[in-house]
């Protein structure tokens, strides 16, 4: 069940009210929270900031195309085990012949199978009471991964391979589990069924203003006004890759190094726009639009 | 007690069943649900599994809990304004608002009430403490008075939030029974039963605005926004469902990556070590996805489909298929094919057939032509293609129900597996492709 106090964010992190409610609900019900949403909306930030704010230990499993449940929970290192037992034989043979031993098994003892169990983030999180477990970008994983995970998550108990050591956690001390996805592939329905689901909506301008001030407390409001205006216009264009919070923050980081007047001029001239626009086609489209606007403007203001 | 809930939600294509009810019960047992607004957010977390389900969910929720029927293209405020539930709520709360309040504002208040969550109430109570502290030292008589008024009101709210589950259920049941007798069926929570914590006095009256009831805002935003409604998986590929189709296509990549014992290497190295066999591992690399795309771009009947098809496969190329080649033909394939969309660079079919059999072939065309066009050469070409490449599918933008009217479709369908050019059709095609080894 983890810690069940309602948490709405910290000084550095503004937790959207709906997300905070979903997060609270997931903790109370002892279920994983699955967060989906556009990239750059702070999905991964939630567990990181929560753990930092509440002083809890955080375990992260970054999913990739080679992810499997063994890496996530625990795996028995057969290779090392075989190697060590071979070395023991070799060493015994050499000793018999009165030769000094050349290879060692380190601190590992082939008699003790637990020495060969490599624990993954899940096993470690489950052995730490009240920890936070983040499974990041699960949509990057092979398709069988979420289904394998289902079994692991629906129990509060792991049995380590070979050594048969049992890692068990009570419902009260269970880690908070947060799973993020960028929706690059559909997750299996059964998997989603075991999670509390939350889709992060793109922040409204007012909320975005708060987010900006959390990151750059000293930034001039005027700069933010102008930048947000352009930012939300871009998002309405239906670009191939619409700019997100992260990109806005990067852009502001660049322009805020100038004086207010200069910064606003830079924003209006779309300088440093590479921070916002990430594909060539989008960039061309915007440049074309700006040129067209300028041409219109010149035509209108020119002599008739 | 919500035994009819799954049935109602299923009408909106939301996957709900007895497990939904069990989870809901668990949430109630753990005191997560104390207001109707809580019900909305908790159920949403349980039921909604995709942003595209938020729209149908909102409608199902209003239908089931409030008996408010939101039609397609309806605005939430209009649907509320004409509902019986709203009228009743307005009558019950007449003393709360003046006569001159506009319907629009009233709907806002109604939404605030409906979506008021425990979190909102907590926020108000926290606010009250701050307020109390601020006024603690003041001896002013007037201040004292207003303090008391709001305190008693807020206490009521607090009382409500401390209601035990039994009491809450009891009250809800009461309301339901009442509603049943008053008008046929329905499961309103709002009504004369006094379930609403806000019925007496109301927060707004005391000048404390119920802070951002997100649910109402969201419900309003969601309706009529295409983002929150499911795409039609059965409609022919168009700009709106390209992404759904892409998701289906994504299933084509069979990724498995693992480490495997490299036996020859282990033996070689082991022999060199004089019989000490240390296992050598090698990692198995991902299967490479290679795609051949053959598009019929002749004839005006195909014109409308070319753009979404190209958009789809372009996305596929940038996302996951790095080896994708596109060729064109007119109506049907004979013993040549074109390398460019203008059909000026010609390539004999043999060159295509020399390619690696691992290529997956997608043929896109309406397969509709005069019988004489589909001659023996053409039929043999299709045969050769399916022989060379193990995984070949035909995607047809013509709706399936018309297929049997066209002779050429009948013939080609026998030669190449044919699916509709819809997200669902593509999904089926991909599944079939993966089945063939």
Task: Check pLDDT > 50 for residue B156.
Answer: no
By the 8 A CB rule, do B193 and B174 touch? yes
**Complete DSSP assignment for B232-257:** -TTS---TTTHHHHHHHHHTT-----
| pLDDT-derived band at B46, boundaries 50, 70, 90 | very high
Q: For A180-234, write each residue's pLDDT tens digit.
A: 998 877 788 888 888 999 988 888 888 888 888 888 888 888 888 888 888 888 8
Q: What would the mean pLDDT of A37-60 be, rounded to a whole number? A: 88
Q: Are residues A195 and A95 in the same domain?
A: no
| pLDDT-derived band at B307, boundaries 50, 70, 90 | confident
Q: For B207-244, write each residue's pLDDT tens digit.
A: 333 334 556 777 777 776 767 777 676 777 777 777 77
The residue ranges of every structural domain in chain B are 5-228, 258-285, 290-435
In a domain, A25, yes or no: yes
- Tell me whether residues B276 and A90 touch, CB distance under 8 A: yes
Q: Are residues A32 and A85 in the same domain?
A: no
Among candidate residues B33, B29, B5, B26, the one with its CA nearest the CA of residue B17: B5
Q: Are residues A42 and A140 in the same domain?
A: yes
Work out the mean pLDDT of chain B and round it to a whole number.
74
**Domain final residue, candidates A200, A234, A268:** A200
Q: What pLDDT shows up at residue B167?
A: 53
Q: Are residues A234 and A247 in the same domain?
A: yes
Q: What's phi and psi for B235, nearest 5 deg?
A: -90, 150
**Complete DSSP assignment for B155-188:** HHHHHHHT--HHHHHHHHHHHHHHHHHHSSS---
Q: What would the mean pLDDT of A52-74 be, rounded to a whole number? A: 88
Range of the domain at A29: 17-73+120-200
Of B15, B23, B279, the CB nearest to A189: B15
Q: Is A90 on the interface with B (CB under 8 A)?
A: yes
Q: Are residues A139 and A157 in the same domain?
A: yes
Q: For B90-139, write each residue's pLDDT tens digit.
A: 887 777 777 777 887 888 888 887 787 777 766 666 554 444 444 433 33
Among candidate residues B182, B172, B174, B179, the one with its CA nearest the CA of residue B2: B172
Q: What is the C-alpha separation between B437 and B251, in angstroms, rounded?
A: 15
- Tell me whether residues B41 and A198 touch, CB distance under 8 A: no
Q: Which of residues 27-46 of B touch A (CB under 8 A)?
A: 27, 30, 32, 41-42, 45-46
- Tell me whether residues B46 and A189 touch, CB distance under 8 A: no
Q: Are residues A65 and A150 in the same domain?
A: yes
Q: Are residues A21 and A60 in the same domain?
A: yes
Task: Check pLDDT > 70 for residue A148.
Answer: yes
Q: Which of residues 29-58 of A touch B (CB under 8 A)?
A: 29, 36
Task: Check pLDDT > 80 for residue B154.
Answer: no
CATH number of the domain within which A160 lies: 3.40.50.300
By the 8 A CB rule, do A150 and A191 touch? yes
Q: Are residues A158 and A178 in the same domain?
A: yes
Task: Check pLDDT > 90 for residue B363.
Answer: yes
Q: Are residues A230 and A182 in the same domain?
A: no
Closest Cα of chain B to A186: distance in Å? 7
| Number of neighbours of residue A121 by Cβ within 10 angstroms | 21
Is the ipTM here above 0.95? no
Q: What pLDDT shows up at residue B185?
A: 33
Distances (CA, A) of B132 to B154, B207, B208: 12, 15, 13
Q: Are residues A61 and A196 in the same domain?
A: yes
Q: For A99-124, write each residue's pLDDT tens digit.
A: 887 777 778 888 888 888 888 898 89
By the 8 A CB rule, do B277 and B266 touch? yes
In a domain, A11, yes or no: no
Q: Are residues A63 and A93 in the same domain?
A: no
| pLDDT-derived band at B155, boundaries 50, 70, 90 | very low
Q: What is the C-alpha separation between B363 and B222, in angstroms, rounded?
A: 38
**Domain final residue, candidates A160, A179, A200:** A200
**Domain final residue, candidates A156, A183, A200:** A200
Q: What is the C-alpha separation between B338 and B326, in angstroms, rounded?
A: 9
- In chain B, residues with a C-beta closer than 8 Å to the C-beta of A79 are 279, 281
Residues in chain B, overall count = 437
Of B19, B212, B247, the CB nearest to A185: B247
Q: What pLDDT shows up at residue B165?
A: 44
More confident residue, B316 or B61: B61
| Domain with residues B290-435, CATH architecture | 3-Layer(aba) Sandwich (3.40)
By the 8 A CB rule, do B240 and B420 touch? no
By the 8 A CB rule, do B52 and B43 touch? no
Q: Are residues A50 and A135 in the same domain?
A: yes
Q: What pLDDT shows up at residue B256?
A: 53
Helix %, strand %, coil % of chain A (to 5): 50, 15, 40
Task: Check pLDDT > 70 for residue B179.
Answer: no
How many domains does chain A divide into? 3
Task: Check pLDDT > 80 for residue B401.
Answer: yes
**Contact residues for A228 (Cβ-Cβ < 8 A; gap 6+):** A205, A208, A209, A212, A248
Work out the mean pLDDT of chain A and round it to a whole number.
83
In a domain, A2, yes or no: no
In a domain, A221, yes or no: yes
Q: What would the mean pLDDT of B379-391 be, rounded to a whole number? A: 91
- Tell me whether residues A17 and B276 touch, CB distance under 8 A: no
Among residues of chain A, what percentage have pLDDT more than 90? Answer: 13
Question: Crossing angle, helix B36-47 and helix B118-135, to 10 degrees?
Answer: 140
In a domain, A304, yes or no: no
Closest Cα of chain A to B118: distance in Å? 10
């Amino acid at each position: 069940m983890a810690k069940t106090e309602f948490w709405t964010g910290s000084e550095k992190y503004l937790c959207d009210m709906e997300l905070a409610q979903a997060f609270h609900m997931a903790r109370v019900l002892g279920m994983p929270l699955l967060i989906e949403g556009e990239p750059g909306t702070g999905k991964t930030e939630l567990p990181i900031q929560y753990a930092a704010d509440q002083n809890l230990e955080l375990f992260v499993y970054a999913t990739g195309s080679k992810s499997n449940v063994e890496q996530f929970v625990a795996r028995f290192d057969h290779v090392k085990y075989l190697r060590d037992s071979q070395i023991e034989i070799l060493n015994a043979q050499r000793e018999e012949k009165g030769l000094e031993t050349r290879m060692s098994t380190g601190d590992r003892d082939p008699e003790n199978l637990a020495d060969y169990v490599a624990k993954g983030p899940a096993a470690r999180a489950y052995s730490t009471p009240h920890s936070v477990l983040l499974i990041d970008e699960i949509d990057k994983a092979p398709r069988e991964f979420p289904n394998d995970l289902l079994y692991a998550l629906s129990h509060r108990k792991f049995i380590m391979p070979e050594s048969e050591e049992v890692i068990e956690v009570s419902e009260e001390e269970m880690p908070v589990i947060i799973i993020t996805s960028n929706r690059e592939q559909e997750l299996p329905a059964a998997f989603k069924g075991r999670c509390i689901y939350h889709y992060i909506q793109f922040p409204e301008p007012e909320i975005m203003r708060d987010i900006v001030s959390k990151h750059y407390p000293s930034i001039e409001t005027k700069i933010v006004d102008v930048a947000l205006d352009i930012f939300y216009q871009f998002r309405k264009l239906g670009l191939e890759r619409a700019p997100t919070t992260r990109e806005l923050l990067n852009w502001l980081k660049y322009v805020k190094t100038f004086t207010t007047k200069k910064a606003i001029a830079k924003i209006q001239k779309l300088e440093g726009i590479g921070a916002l626009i990430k594909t060539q086609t989008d960039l061309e489209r915007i440049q074309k639009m700006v040129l067209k606007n300028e041409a219109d403007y010149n035509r209108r203001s020119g002599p008739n | 007690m919500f035994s009819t809930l799954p049935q109602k939600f299923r009408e909106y294509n939301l996957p709900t069943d007895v497990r939904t009810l069990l989870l809901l019960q668990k949430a109630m047992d753990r005191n997560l649900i104390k207001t109707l607004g809580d019900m909305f957010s908790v159920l949403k977390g349980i039921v909604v599994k995709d942003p595209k389900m938020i729209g149908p969910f909102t409608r199902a929720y209003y239908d089931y809990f409030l008996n408010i029927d939101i039609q397609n293209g309806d605005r939430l405020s209009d649907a509320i304004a004409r509902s019986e539930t709203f009228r009743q709520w307005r009558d019950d709360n007449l003393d709360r608002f003046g006569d001159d309040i506009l319907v629009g504002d009233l709907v806002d208040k109604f939404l605030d009430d409906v979506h008021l969550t425990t979190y909102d109430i907590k926020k108000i109570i926290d606010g009250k403490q701050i307020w109390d502290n601020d006024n603690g030292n003041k001896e002013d008589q007037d201040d004292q008075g207003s303090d008391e008024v709001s305190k008693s009101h807020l206490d009521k709210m607090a009382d409500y939030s401390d209601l035990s589950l039994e009491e809450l259920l009891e009250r809800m049941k009461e309301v339901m029974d009442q509603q049943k007798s008053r008008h046929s069926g329905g499961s309103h929570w709002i009504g004369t039963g006094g379930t609403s914590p806000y019925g007496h006095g109301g927060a707004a009256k005391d000048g404390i605005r119920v802070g951002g009831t997100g649910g109402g805002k969201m419900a309003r935003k969601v309706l009529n926004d295409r983002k929150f409604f499911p795409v039609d998986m059965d409609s022919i590929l168009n700009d709106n469902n390209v992404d759904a189709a892409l998701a289906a296509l994504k299933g084509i990549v069979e990724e498995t990556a693992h480490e495997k014992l490299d036996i020859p290497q282990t033996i070689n190295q082991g022999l060199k070590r004089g019989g000490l066999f240390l296992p050598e591992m090698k990692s198995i690399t991902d299967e490479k996805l290679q795609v051949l795309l053959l598009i019929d771009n002749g004839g005006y009947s195909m014109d409308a489909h070319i753009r979404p098809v190209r958009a789809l496969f372009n996305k596929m190329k940038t996302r996951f298929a790095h080896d994708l080649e596109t060729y064109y033909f007119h109506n049907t394939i004979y013993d040549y094919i074109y390398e460019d969309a203008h059909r000026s660079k010609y390539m004999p079919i043999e060159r295509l057939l020399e390619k690696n059999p691992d290529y997956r072939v997608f043929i896109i065309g309406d397969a509709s032509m005069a019988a004489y066009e589909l001659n023996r050469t053409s039929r043999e070409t299709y045969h050769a293609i399916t022989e060379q490449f193990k995984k070949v599918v035909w995607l047809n933008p013509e709706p399936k129900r018309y297929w049997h009217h066209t002779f050429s479709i009948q013939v080609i369908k026998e030669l190449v597996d044919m699916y509709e050019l819809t997200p669902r059709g593509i999904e089926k095609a991909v599944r079939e492709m993966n089945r063939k080894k």
